[in-house]
Amino acid sequence: MPVSLLNNHTVTLMNDDVLYQVALTMVPQIGHVHASILVKHFESAVSIFAAKKRELECIPGIGAVRATAIKKFDGFDKARAELAFIEKYKITPLFLSDINYPQRLLQCYDPPTLLFYRGKASLNAGRIVAIVGTRNKTEYGKQQTEKLVEELAKHGIMVVSGLALGIDAIAHKASVKNKVPTIGVVAHGLDSMYPPDHTALAKEMVREGGGILTEFRRETKPDKHNFPIRNRIVAGMCDALVVIETDIKGGSMITAELAYGYNKDVFAIPGKNTDRKSAGCNHLIKQNKAMLLTDAHHLLDTLGWVNTKPDKKKKQKELFIQLTEQEEKIVKVLQEKGSLHIDELHIKSGLNSSAAAAAILNLELQQIICSLPGKIYQLL
């Protein structure tokens, strides 16, 4: 039986819009793609439910059947129960239009409509690497995973995996050990933990600055069909995916194929051609769907993450006098936060959108800041 991950907290009030966000995920006939279309058109979940049926029908991809499903939705009691659960356990709901939503997922064709998150780490960190592999890992796989995470730890990486047995768990444990924030993406609701043995690990990940993420509502069991759904989040929210030991079939291969389809950089640790647990990695390399990876430097170099951070104090001391007041505000925010999505950078700088955009562009041209995937910015 799944074991609870949660501790009781005082109920807090949340924006009413969250109720409608939860409700949208419950409407029959409305999948992730349809929800994304609706959000782009109406911007908020409240507006979707407030729209007239005729207006909904006229939206390309929605039509009469889905418009009717929205207008006839009567599951708000269940949505309120979910909202009460979210509030009680201080879970962070992340809707498609939220600036804290993993922006890299928005580049995928089927981003989750609503995510549920317990943790402290930004899901829009500047450098995110996903590490996946077989549940039945070997000592070779364990050593390769630990070595990779230890080497990546020196370069401001966040590690994402699926909190499963085997390579996933090794990646999370190695991350905690090396003070690397790590996110576990699970295939069930946050009222339980699967496998149960990972309850303590999940709590430690949250406590040490990482987090647990899911798109599944409470009381959702870790059924078999949920895992491929979960895998697309792992594949979609990273910059690069590393496969360490896998058979020719399995969840890791599904995740690798998804990442390849999302135009992510996919890497695989090679193994003996007689080793079944390396067959999947060797196959990905052979099919040119993954780059052969022998050490972290290759990954860092491929992604342009090597020597991208010269001495900040020296560079800023030389260039600070040349900056405008608006540019100084952008630089100051990035000095404090490390890396930020463009929307959050705009808000925290206190500049209006046009002034912020102009300052960001000038700073890029002066090579003081750089843009990362997902509209993330950081100092060079």
Number of domains the chain contains? 3
Tell me what pLDDT residue 81 has. Answer: 92
Tell me what pLDDT residue 15 has. Answer: 57
DSSP state of 376: E
Tell me if 111 sits within 8 A of 237, measured CB to CB: no
376-379 and 339-341: which strand pairing?
Answer: antiparallel
Tell me what pLDDT residue 26 has. Answer: 93
What's the CATH code of the domain at 182? 3.40.50.450
pTM of the model: 0.77
Q: Is 2 within the bounds of a domain?
A: no
Q: Is 186 within the bounds of a domain?
A: yes
**Of 157, 100, 155, the residue nearest 131 (C-alpha):** 157
Measured CA to CA, the distance from residue 140 to residue 102 in angstroms comes to 32
Measured CA to CA, the distance from residue 141 to residue 167 in angstroms comes to 7
Which residues constitute the domain of residue 78? 17-90
- Write down which residue in 264, 279, 302 finishes a domain: 302
Which helix or strand (DSSP H or E) is residue 328 part of?
A: helix 325-337
Measured CA to CA, the distance from residue 118 to residue 93 in angstroms comes to 9
- Write down which residue in 253, 283, 302 finishes a domain: 302
Residue partners of 294: CB distance under 8 A and separation at least 6: 269, 270
Same domain, 161 and 45: no
Q: Is 117 within the bounds of a domain?
A: no
Q: Is 5 within the bounds of a domain?
A: no
Q: Is 52 within the bounds of a domain?
A: yes
- List 164's β-bridge partners, or say none: none
Measured CA to CA, the distance from residue 110 to residue 2 in angstroms comes to 28
Tell me what pLDDT residue 2 has. Answer: 42
Tell me what pLDDT residue 12 has. Answer: 34
Q: Is 101 within the bounds of a domain?
A: no
Same domain, 197 and 243: yes
Tokens standing for 343?
């929307």
Q: Is 3 within the bounds of a domain?
A: no
* Alpha helix (H) residue ranges in 270-324: 279-286, 296-302, 312-319
Tell me what pLDDT residue 325 has. Answer: 85
Measured CA to CA, the distance from residue 169 to residue 192 in angstroms comes to 17
Tell me what pLDDT residue 310 has. Answer: 43
Residue ranges of the chain whose pLDDT lies below 70:
1-15, 307-321, 373-374
User: 223-243 b/e with 16+ CB inside 10 Å = b?
Assistant: eeebbeebbbbbbbbbbbbbb
- The Cα angle at residue 258 between residues 243 and 268, in degrees rounded to 5: 20
